[in-house]
Amino acid sequence: MSTYVVGDLQGCYKPLKKLLKKVKFSEATDKLWCVGDLVNRGPDSLDTLHFLSDMEASLELVLGNHDLHYIAIHEDCAPARSKDTLDNLLNAKDSQELSDWLRKQPLAHHESLDTKSGVENFLMVHAGVAPHWTLQKTLNLSAEVQFALQDIDYKAFLHHMYGNTPTRWHDQLEGLDRLRVITNYLTRIRFCDEIGTLQLTVKEGLSSAPQGFKPWFEYETLTPEATILFGHWAALEGYTGKKHVYALDTGYAWGRELTLMRLEDKQLYSIPS
């Protein structure tokens, strides 16, 4: 049995199938983890969700910002954007079923696995975490958003989800502002300062950090309790420079590669766009 984690799919169903064939993936014995952004930008968001939902017993996933955006559009809580490629998914007969399925998914997943170096804790998120969050705090905060997405008033959250404020976490935050900032850390973070203040407008690589900000994974206060797996930041091209932080989005939707990592030995497998 092997556990594989794949970078941002963004509706690229055929490359995913090709990559799984390359590693001889078996739904009966293997597990697939997805770091979020399952849909949008690519051509086959509907087929991607059909494939993943059908293999749910062999799947772990976290939601990314594009997945939440699809849910919000579907629920008439946000307008579509000019660059979206979600029409086939939004117009599908089972779009409601697929949206409901995504609303049940978490923003963070934790699991301990036997690896070549021994038992290892893994934390999978789409974009990252606040540098001062513990593993348990991250999971607890993810659970708050997951609950809000399934609550009877979930549309209130979807309406309020967009925006860059509050700019940092503090424990006294309440209500929809609290949910928004949790969501921004887990699905949108790239750069922050040492107290976790978010800088959400700069999207380029490591060298583009604004003054006073660094990539979220470069702070000494980052939780040491787990190996962190994330996507979202294609400009990193899979490089973090950190031993226990792995960037899986290698930009297939932007003409580069789709990457899969076997967690037991950290072996990487890629196919070019």
Domain ranges, residue 56:
3-272
Label residue 64 exposed, middle or buried (CB < 10 Å: 0-12, 13-18, 19+).
buried
pLDDT on residue 226: 97
Nearest Cα neighbor of 186 from 142, 155, 143 is 142
In terms of residues, how long is the chain?
273
**Total structural domains in the chain?**
1
Q: From first to last of the 273 residues of the chain, give the pLDDT tens digit.
A: 999 999 999 999 999 999 999 999 999 999 999 999 999 999 999 999 999 999 999 999 999 999 999 999 999 999 999 999 999 999 999 999 999 999 999 999 999 999 998 999 999 999 999 999 999 999 999 999 999 999 999 999 999 999 999 999 999 999 999 999 999 999 999 999 999 999 999 999 999 999 999 999 999 999 999 999 999 999 999 999 999 999 999 999 999 999 999 999 999 999 998
Contact criterion met (CB below 8 Å) for 101 and 53: yes
Distance CA 148, CA 129 (A): 19
Please report where in the chains the tokens 């978490």 appear, as a residue: 106
CATH number, domain with residue 21: 3.60.21.10
- In single-letter form, the type of residue at position 206 comes to L
pTM for the whole structure: 0.97
Nearest Cα neighbor of 63 from 193, 157, 152 is 157
- Phi then psi dihedrals of residue 119, to 5 deg: -70, 130
pLDDT on residue 117: 86
DSSP 100-136: HHHHTS-SEEEEEEEETTEEEEEEEESS---TT--HH
Contact criterion met (CB below 8 Å) for 215 and 190: yes
